[in-house]
Amino acid sequence: MSYSSTSVSTSPIDGQKPGTSGLRKAVKVYLQKNYTENFVQSILEGGLGSIEGSTLVIGGDGRYYEKEAALLIIQMCAANGVSKVIVAHNALMSTPAVSCVIRKYKTNGGIILTASHNPGGPDADFGIKFNTENGGPAPENVTDKIFERTRNINQYKICPDLKVDLSKIGQSVYTVDGREFTVQIIDSVSDYVEYMKEIFDFPSLKNYLSSGKQVLMDSMNGVMGPYVKRVICEELGAPETSVVNCTPLEDFGGKHPDPNLTYAADLVAEMAKGQHDFGAAFDGDGDRNMILGKNAFFVTPSDSLAVLAHYLECIPYFKKTGVKGYARSMPTSGAVDRVAKTKNQKCYEVPTGWKFFGNLMDAGCLSLCGEESFGTGSDHIREKDGLWAILAWLSVLANQNCSVEQCVKNHWQTYGRNFYTRYDYENCETGQANKMMDHLNAYVGDESNIGKEYSAKDKTYKVAKADNFSYTDPVDNSVSKNQGIRLIFEDGSRIIFRLSGTGSSGATIRMYVEGYENDPAKYEMDPQVVLRPLIDIALMVSKLSELTGRDSPTVIT
């Protein structure tokens, strides 16, 4: 079939600067005239070295407006001279699977339609993210180029008559403006599952699960349902009752698809009954994970990373590749640093955002990395990977033949415990949140604060360092400034403040608090009790309540 494209006049729309991971806005914003078209045209022009002859992957988390956006992107790719698009069946593909497919088929990148852990539906959020040919989120120099295009755009190209049926797997070749344009619709799950089977020892995981272990996985009505069913039930033989909320829904069934103790409360309650040995939840697009043990024993993402770092070589992939190093985002606790030190490995500290790990992986500097925001992954792809993390944990448990709780407690016995908590203050008034950050910036800019002592309860902490974190990428020397306020005390305890980069409206303040203990008598204490003095100091120094009017956080992890 032959088609022709047309150019449509448009003008720049304010506020299309990608955040921590893509452009996340309310669906209503995306539905404004030319909003999606402008951003997609800017991705094609700013994200790809050369559009002509390129191949792109398209997939998303199934949220409201995702399918329409996928069809629109196909029409725009056709008009702009892209040679081929590889599209997920029904446009449904998890973020890690898109990364896997970009790498497997050596494409020029991909467009992921997701607002990740943000709620979905007509009154909630949508998002578009561009990943580059290494399979990872576009780095800042690329997102800057995309943003620049959004500020100068005056037309977009589209082939409006090209209608593709996303429900039919297979390949179709069209002629658009005399050029060939191929649309290949692929199974959403197969490539990813095949890869997992190369990375992990599936027969041994199957044995482990068949030895009476009960697992419970919550896909939160996001994209992960089909992956979890295929891997956990079909491949590893767990009963169907082991997986819940497995049908991807446009509004996630009204859930907030963020796997933490607050938003995955149903899973926590079920695990608390003590009938399951292992529990896990995923976010909307499947890159985040939460790990729970029997009786809802919670593994902090920072501890999860450290435990996996300790046992990494029990996973066949790492037996083959060797362990090349570790990394964590700056606010993530230093538990993994202790493992790195013992194992004589390098541990990198990067700003928040998975995109910062990509260069290190491409340069062969790191095998395993993670973030406190429930992200764990390795250099097998260039996105964090929820199901990979679950399979990695099951591999460790099978290898050690112990419970989740025992495994974490053994870890504390070996390394001491990095107590950790994060307070989220969601939907703050932007002006007030900025005022608080200005206040903190002034604080860290004032050298006389170094050496100051703060006391709360029976503890006293002395400020050793105070700054706004700045990162120089060791591979390309690019510099990323203002990545979070840090107060580091003489005993290594830390208080960190930053504004979320993934919200779609208002401001979310994140306050991270970390303190280390190596007295075994304290290992089992409640982090909220152990960290109380530091939390009080953080609230006092930041003037959070005074400047924002907020007395308590909306989420505590």
Cite the active site residues.
116
Q: Mapping DSSP to helix (H, G, I), strand (E, B) and coil, where does residue 430 land?
A: helix
**DSSP label at 259?**
-
Residue listed under structure tokens 């619709």: 185
Of 80 and 373, CB closest to ligand G16 = 373
Cβ-Cβ contacts under 8 Å for 193 (sequence gap 6 or more): 227, 230, 231, 235
Q: Interface with ligand G16 by CB under 6 A: which residues? A: 20-21, 116-117, 283, 287-288, 329, 352-354, 371, 373, 375, 500-502, 510
Query: Among residues 230 and 328, whose Cβ is nearest to ligand G16?
Result: 328
Query: Is the CB of 119 or the CB of 375 nearer to ligand G16?
Result: 375
Q: Hey, is 461 helix, strand or coil?
A: strand
Closest approach of Cβ 225 to ligand G16, in Å? 17
The distance of closest approach from Cβ of residue 469 to ligand G16 in the complex, given in angstroms and rounded to an integer, is: 13
Backbone angles phi, psi at 386, to 5 degrees: -60, -50
Min. distance of Cβ 82 from ligand G16 in angstroms? 25
Least distance from ligand G16 to the Cβ atom of residue 28, Å: 20
C-alpha separations of 173 from 78, 84, 102, 170, 554 in Å: 11, 9, 20, 10, 50
Tokens describing residue 250: 């446009």
Helix (H, G, I), strand (E, B) or coil at 337: helix
Under DSSP, is residue 505 helix (H, G, I), strand (E, B) or coil? coil
Q: Which two tokens stand for residue 81?
A: 């001279």
- Pick between residue 176 and residue 368 the one whose CB is nearest to ligand G16: 368
Nearest to 209 by CA among 232, 229, 234, 240: 232
- Cite the DSSP H helix spans in 85-210: 95-104, 140-152, 190-199, 202-209
Which one, 80 or 352, has the nearer CB to ligand G16?
352
Nearer to ligand G16 among residue 86 and residue 509 (C-beta): 509
Please give the DSSP secondary-structure letter assigned to residue 294.
G
Q: For residue 443, give both structure tokens.
A: 């604080």
At 339 the three-state DSSP class reads helix
Q: Which residue number, 75 or 502, has a Cβ lying nearer to ligand G16?
A: 502
**Shortest distance, position 373 Cβ to ligand G16, whole Å:** 4
CB 414 within 8 A of CB 408: no
The backbone torsions φ and ψ at residue 110, rounded to the nearest 5 degrees and listed phi first, read -160, 160
- 301, 370 contact by CB (below 8 A): yes
| Smallest separation, CB 215 to ligand G16 (Å) | 23
Of 117 and 230, CB closest to ligand G16: 117
CB of 183 to ligand G16, least distance (A): 27
SS3 assignment, position 25: strand
All residues at 6 or more sequence positions from 326 whose CB lies less than 8 Å from its CB, including other chains: 305, 309, 336, 339, 340, 345, 346, 347, 348, 366, 367, 368, 369
Q: CB of 340: closest distance to ligand G16 in angstroms?
A: 20
d(CA 155, CA 210): 58
Question: Rounded CA gap, 135 and 132, in Å?
Answer: 6
Instruction: Write the single-letter amino acid at 133.
Output: E
Q: CB-wise, 107 or 116, nearer to ligand G16?
A: 116
Closest CA to 23 of 137, 155, 159: 137
Least distance (Å) from ligand G16 to the CB of residue 418? 18
Contact between 498 and 544 under an 8 Å Cβ cutoff? The reply is no
Q: How far is CA 395 from CA 209, 211, 292, 426, in A?
A: 11, 14, 15, 36
